[in-house]
Amino acid sequence: MKTKLNTFNNLHYKPSSTFNILCWYFVNACFFVNPFNPFSNIKIFLLRLFGAKIGERVLIKPRVNIKYPWFLEIGNDVWIGENVWIDNLAKVIIEDNVCISQGAMLLCGNHNYKSTSFDLILGEIILEEGSWVGAHAVVCPGVTLASHSILSVNSVANRDTEPYAIYQGNPAVKIRKRIIE
């Protein structure tokens, strides 16, 4: 058997109306991906306008790309660094006191490489309280970063982490406990 991309069919996936998706596309391009808008309060207002649930004291740096705000929940005191890509084809929940460092990617979609039509696979992502996604790290579909766990720089989390643990590598493995003093 061979992969036949011409048989791929994504018609079952309807994240919102075409109008909402198109409106968000332009808002995202003008206010989020655009490096000339450093103001988090404008971004938070727009995210809420499009259905995101956003807590207090959230910092969103320039060049953050968010796929669908209506699938996004952000708690209090969250930092989202430059060039973060939240590819939330499914729900992404970011709890309180989470840091997502520059260039990190939260990927809710993947493809079934066993299927000839390369079918879409979706999975929610949860970043529990106090977790930290390091610079250029990747969180894969269906993964939960447990409370106060760390995914270090350039690492890939393809399975859930344990609380208060530090993960490194591709795939990320636990390298030690996180001790907060």
d(CA 154, CA 99): 15
Judge whether 174 and 162 are in contact, CB under 8 Å.
yes
How do residues 146-164 score in pLDDT, each as one tens digit?
A: 999 999 999 999 999 999 9
d(CA 44, CA 41): 5
Q: What's the confidence (pLDDT) of residue 28?
A: 98
Count Cβ atoms within 10 A of the Cβ of residue 115 and give its class: 0-12 exposed, 13-18 middle, 19 or more buried.
Answer: middle
Q: What's the confidence (pLDDT) of residue 35?
A: 93
Q: What's the confidence (pLDDT) of residue 77?
A: 98
Domain coordinates of the chain in residue numbers?
17-177
How do residues 87-135 score in pLDDT, each as one tens digit?
A: 999 999 999 999 999 999 999 999 999 999 999 999 999 999 999 999 9
Nearest to 64 by CA among 90, 91, 46: 46
d(CA 122, CA 90): 6
- Which whole number is the average pLDDT over 43-55? 98
Confirm or reject CATH 2.60.40.1510 for domain 17-177, answering yes or no.
Answer: no
Q: What's the confidence (pLDDT) of residue 22?
A: 98
